């Protein structure tokens, strides 16, 4: 995989500053005030040195960055009536100690499609966006791919816990249900970020074989969705409320 870099902003102790997020689809890296952080999930970014940064410079919880806001934009491929197009995904993440809040906004052809409320993880936020996209428009990212799945268990990480089965495509195409995914688990290629995309992407089936443990994308909601409200201006950093003390 080739690294991608996304320009953004960090707000935390000591104010705000521009940053660059870098990922290879698996590991995330960011440098803030000369300190390098790395992790497989956005809520697991820990100092690369393995030792806490200068006392008071950052808020950490279990060794990972917290008590801050990250905001960045990234190019996101979408399929429009089968043709590949490039959209932009705006990400606004409040890293709180207990429950991170995530807002995603997909910008395409002058329209903005929002995850509509704070979500607890990237899978839920991207699912919310896919549900409100017009017919014929589909996200082309790992969360929507025919060869991705989560471990059959309750709960999931904020990001990065999505398994890729591109190395065993034919076997996964026949997988349906928890047992089938467990049988293939040790043959997975690795874990990927939900917002990542590669050249081996295929649209996920809507039902039956090939939907694995997690099912289709987007899965039908368990409860009827609330009626959509008119789009409001993009959430600001201040709208997320005060950051928590250490």
If one compares 231 and 163, the residue with the highest pLDDT of the two is 163
Query: What whole-number distance in Å separates Cα of residue 94 and Cα of residue 241?
Result: 9
Could you give the dihedral angle defined by the CA atoms of residues 206, 89, 197 and 116, in that order, rounded to the nearest 10 degrees?
-30
Cβ contact 114:125 at 8 Å: no
Q: Could you tell me which of 72, 133, 78 has the C-alpha nearest to residue 102?
A: 72
**Residue-wise pLDDT tens digits, 44-69:** 999 998 777 766 788 998 889 999 99
HSE at residue 33, side-chain half, CA atoms within 13 A, is 14
221 pLDDT higher than 70: no
| 202-220 mean pLDDT | 86
The 10 Å Cβ neighbour count of residue 42 is 24
Walk across the sheet containing 162-164 and list its strands.
Answer: 148-149, 162-164, 190-192
Place of tokens 């990237």: 122
CA distance readout (Å), 98 to 36, 67, 94, 154: 23, 10, 11, 18
Q: How confident is the model at residue 2 (pLDDT cuts 50, 70, 90)?
A: confident
Q: How confident is the model at residue 244 (pLDDT cuts 50, 70, 90)?
A: low
Full-model pTM: 0.84
What pLDDT is stored for residue 246 in this prediction?
A: 42
**Residue-wise pLDDT tens digits, 19-46:** 999 999 999 999 999 899 999 999 999 9
Q: Could you tell me which of 200, 203, 184 has the C-alpha nearest to residue 192?
A: 200
**Residue-wise pLDDT tens digits, 185-198:** 999 999 999 999 99
The 10 Å Cβ neighbour count of residue 169 is 14
What pLDDT is stored for residue 99 in this prediction?
A: 77
**Residue-wise pLDDT tens digits, 110-166:** 999 999 766 789 999 999 999 999 999 999 999 999 999 999 877 788 999 999 999
13 pLDDT higher than 50: yes
Q: How confident is the model at residue 225 (pLDDT cuts 50, 70, 90)?
A: very low
Place of tokens 């789009």: 231
Query: What whole-number distance in Å separates Cα of residue 221 and Cα of residue 68?
Result: 31
Q: How confident is the model at residue 232 (pLDDT cuts 50, 70, 90)?
A: very low
Cβ contact 11:237 at 8 Å: yes
């Amino acid at each position: 995989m080739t690294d991608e870099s996304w320009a953004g902003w960090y707000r935390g102790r000591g104010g705000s500053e521009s940053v660059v997020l870098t990922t290879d689809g698996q590991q995330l890296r960011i440098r803030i005030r000369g300190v390098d952080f790395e992790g497989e999930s956005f809520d697991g970014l820990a100092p690369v040195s393995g030792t806490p940064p200068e006392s008071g410079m950052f808020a950490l919880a279990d060794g990972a960055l917290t008590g801050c806001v990250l905001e960045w934009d990234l190019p996101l491929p979408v399929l429009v009536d089968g043709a590949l197009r490039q959209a932009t995904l705006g990400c606004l993440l409040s890293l709180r100690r207990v429950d991170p809040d995530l807002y995603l906004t997909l910008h395409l052809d002058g329209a903005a499609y929002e995850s509509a409320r704070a979500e607890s993880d990237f899978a839920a936020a991207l699912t919310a966006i896919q549900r409100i996209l017009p017919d014929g428009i589909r996200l082309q990212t790992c969360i929507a791919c025919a060869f991705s799945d989560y471990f059959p268990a309750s709960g999931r990480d904020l990001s990065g816990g999505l398994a890729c089965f591109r190395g065993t495509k034919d076997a996964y195409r026949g997988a349906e249900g928890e047992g089938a995914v467990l049988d293939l688990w040790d043959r997975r290629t690795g874990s990927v970020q939900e917002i990542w995309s590669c050249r081996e992407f295929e649209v996920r089936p809507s039902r039956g074989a090939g939907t694995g443990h997690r099912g289709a994308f987007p899965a039908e909601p368990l409860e009827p969705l609330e009626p959509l409200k008119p789009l409001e201006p993009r959430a600001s950093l201040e709208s997320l409320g005060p950051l928590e003390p250490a």
